[in-house]
């Protein structure tokens, strides 16, 4: 094993941290003073030559690991031929082929107006841009001014996406007024707003958090014709890696469609194979009208996409665009990423290693009382650090820092969660290393 870290805060590290403090926006959130130098597969090296096992994947971005040779080759080849030629005004092959690929990967419920039409894709630079595009497109289609989203949601920090976000007060503080968004409770059965029992909701296929939208938002506050769209994460990401109960997404989509409201699935963190299927919503047998994707789509290159079912993305030239969105290098990286996932059978690996990770986390839960609520699908897993359901955020943060000191990179989520989102090519050896380090840290901290 390559742990723990050998060196702490060299002169070079202190110099760089001082420069960062002087010149970089303080709005960024850094959990620990890690300055990355290079990466290879599941491992990163900092400027002091310390080696780290990375279970963050750049916040679920590096789907194929750090600097996968096939992705590097695709990026270098495209950069050698052409770096940029804005796809909003010109044509180039990598963007066209990627749009076709994503359209064929997406599945939407057939609609009477779809006949003879194709699924369409809009490219931006990030998840937030994809969400902004979805907000504009739903508004264009519906000619309606308001939206519905969920508490605990994170859709981005640009003003439109931020209007949908309701994860932490600091993210919205001082930026009001925002777009008009009516938020409803997400199906977080561990912290149910209505004190429901999960088994009762599933058995009855009746969810108070859905009825809240029907009876109060649409029944007493907003005319359904004034709602442009409902935005929802099939699995909430930053809000705590919350997996909704069986049937909940289906009930939400049925309510939306019965009122003529488009549904947008935010698959930015949960998509691109993260849960063992291309899209998390496939686990629930339900389909959206549109979905957004980013993060893992291009193994670290900047890219986001909005994918809409046939017949919806019919806005005219000039109504929306992005100069750098879908640039040739990012599109080439995305095509290579999809090819690697298919060629190396990484969806199967996600399912197999997801089970291994789940077993390891359950072992920690049996060994330490503060490890609770092991959850997630595929390689989108989380635990809570709490005492009988009482959140312990300070201990969670201490654990994250101690893992860093022992050479393991992890991130928090929700009030007191720790998320595990390694690259899709993670192996049993790395999972065992992760569990071993975490066990050592818990033994020290608890």
Task: Find out whether 148 and 231 touch, Cβ atoms under 8 Å.
Answer: yes
Task: Find out whether 148 and 219 touch, Cβ atoms under 8 Å.
Answer: no
Q: What are the residues whose beta carbons fall under 8 Å from the beta carbon of 249, sequence distance 6 or more? A: 232, 234, 281, 284, 286
What is the mean predicted confidence (pLDDT) over 133-154?
Answer: 98
pLDDT at 6: 53
Rounded CA-CA distance 405/6 in Å is 9
Provide the whole-model pTM. Answer: 0.96
Q: What are phi and psi of 130, to 5 degrees?
A: -65, -40
Rounded CA-CA distance 25/428 in Å is 38
pLDDT at 2: 47
pLDDT at 259: 97
Per-residue CA distances from 378 to 9, 165, 349, 422, 446 (Å): 35, 25, 9, 10, 28
Say yes or no to pLDDT of 3 above 70: no
pLDDT at 115: 82
The predicted-structure confidence for 174-204, as pLDDT tens digits, reads as follows 999 999 999 999 999 989 999 998 998 999 8
CATH T-level topology, domain 73-343: 3.40.640
Q: Where are the domains of the chain?
A: 73-343, 345-446
What is the mean predicted confidence (pLDDT) over 144-152?
Answer: 98
Statement: 345-446 belongs to CATH 3.40.640.10: no
Helix (H/G/I), strand (E/B), else coil: 351? helix
The predicted-structure confidence for 410-446, as pLDDT tens digits, reads as follows 999 999 999 999 999 999 999 999 999 999 999 999 8
Rounded CA-CA distance 122/338 in Å is 18
Give the closest residue to 77 by CA, choosing from 93, 57, 88. 93
**pLDDT over 90, % of the chain:** 92
């Amino acid at each position: 094993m390559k742990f723990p870290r050998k060196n702490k805060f060299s002169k070079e590290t202190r110099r760089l941290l001082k420069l960062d403090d002087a010149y970089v926006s303080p709005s960024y959130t850094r959990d620990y003073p890690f300055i990355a130098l290079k990466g290879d597969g599941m491992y990163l090296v900092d400027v002091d030559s310390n080696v780290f096992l990375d279970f963050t994947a750049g916040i679920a971005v590096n789907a194929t690991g750090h600097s996968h040779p096939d992705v590097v080759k695709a990026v270098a080849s495209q950069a050698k031929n052409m770096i940029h030629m804005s796809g909003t005004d010109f044509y180039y092959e990598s963007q066209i082929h990627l749009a076709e690929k994503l359209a064929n990967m997406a599945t939407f419920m057939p609609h009477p107006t779809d006949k003879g039409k194709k699924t369409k894709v809009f490219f931006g630079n990030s998840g937030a841009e994809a969400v902004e595009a979805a907000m504009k497109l739903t508004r264009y289609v519906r000619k309606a001014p308001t939206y519905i989203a969920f508490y605990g949601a994170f859709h981005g920090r640009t003003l439109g996406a931020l209007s949908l976000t309701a994860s932490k007060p600091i993210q919205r503080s001082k930026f009001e007024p925002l777009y008009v968004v009516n938020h409803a409770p997400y199906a977080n059965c561990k912290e149910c707003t209505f004190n429901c029992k999960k088994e009762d909701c599933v058995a009855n296929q009746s969810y108070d958090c859905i009825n809240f939208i029907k009876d109060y938002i649409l029944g007493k506050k907003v005319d359904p014709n004034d709602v442009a769209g409902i935005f929802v994460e099939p699995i909430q990401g930053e809000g705590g890696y919350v997996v909704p109960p069986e049937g909940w997404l289906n009930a939400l989509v049925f309510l939306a469609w019965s009122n003529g409201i488009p549904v947008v699935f935010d698959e930015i963190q949960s998509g691109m194979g993260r849960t063992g299927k291309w899209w998390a919503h496939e686990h629930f047998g339900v389909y959206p009208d549109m979905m957004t994707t980013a993060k893992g789509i291009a193994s670290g290159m900047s890219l986001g996409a909005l994918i809409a079912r046939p017949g919806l993305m019919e806005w005219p030239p000039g109504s929306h665009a992005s100069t750098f969105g879908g640039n040739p290098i990012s599109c080439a990286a995305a095509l290579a990423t999809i090819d690697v996932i298919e060629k190396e059978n990484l969806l199967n690996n996600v399912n197999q290693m997801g089970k291994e990770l789940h077993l390891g986390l359950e072992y920690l839960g049996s060994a330490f009382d503060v490890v609770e609520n092991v959850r997630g699908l595929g390689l989108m897993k989380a635990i809570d650090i709490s005492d009988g359901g009482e959140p312990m955020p300070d201990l969670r943060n201490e654990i994250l820092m101690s893992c860093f000191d022992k050479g393991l990179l992890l991130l928090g989520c929700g009030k007191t969660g720790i998320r595990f989102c390694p690259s899709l090519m993670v192996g049993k050896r790395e999972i065992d290393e992760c569990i071993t380090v975490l066990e050592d840290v818990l033994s020290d901290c608890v």
